[in-house]
């Protein structure tokens, strides 16, 4: 299985209304310290045919990682998260305490 597939398998498990950080996804995918790789994989995962809820992955500060390379997907990501009931403060941050996914770690190798 490719590293991207490992990442996608983890991201597919993030429940509606919850988020994970890039680093958290990397750890759960067995790719410690490869948060940037998670970002690269999710940049390619916006195709609806992949069925990867890419929008549920944010940075460790509780923010959407903005990039001009994403061609407006940053705003779509925020809109998708808000449609799931996730609220952002006026600085564009969400509460990781409230919305961070806490998976059962026994299901991950």
Q: What is the pLDDT of residues 54-94, one digit of tens each?
A: 999 999 999 998 776 656 577 889 999 999 999 999 999 99
- Structurally, the chain folds into a number of domains equal to 1
Asked whether 15 and 77 are in contact (CB, 8 A), the reply is no
Task: Return the pLDDT at 38.
Answer: 96
Question: Is there a domain that residue 54 lies in?
Answer: yes
Cα distances (Å, whole numbers) of residue 80 to 30, 47, 54, 69, 90: 27, 15, 10, 19, 17
Question: Is there a domain that residue 107 lies in?
Answer: no
Question: Is there a domain that residue 94 lies in?
Answer: yes
Separation of alpha carbons 7 and 4, rounded Å: 5
Task: Return the pLDDT at 4.
Answer: 94
Question: Is there a domain that residue 109 lies in?
Answer: no
Q: If you average pLDDT over residues 33-55, what whole number do you get?
A: 89
Domain interval for residue 63: 3-101
Task: Return the pLDDT at 71.
Answer: 62
Strands (E), 11-106: 20-21, 57-58
CATH no. for residue 40?
1.10.10.10
Q: If you average pLDDT over residues 88-106, what whole number do you get?
A: 93
């Amino acid at each position: 299985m490719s590293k991207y597939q490992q990442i996608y398998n983890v991201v597919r498990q993030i429940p509606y209304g919850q988020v994970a950080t890039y680093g958290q996804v990397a750890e759960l995918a067995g790719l410690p310290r490869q948060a940037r790789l998670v970002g690269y994989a999710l940049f390619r995962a916006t195709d609806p045919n992949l069925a990867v809820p890419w929008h549920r992955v944010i940075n460790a500060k509780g923010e959407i990682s903005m990039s001009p390379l994403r061609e407006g997907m940053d705003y779509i990501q925020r809109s998708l998260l808000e449609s799931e009931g996730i609220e952002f403060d006026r600085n564009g941050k969400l509460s990781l305490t409230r919305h961070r996914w806490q998976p059962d770690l026994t299901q991950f190798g």
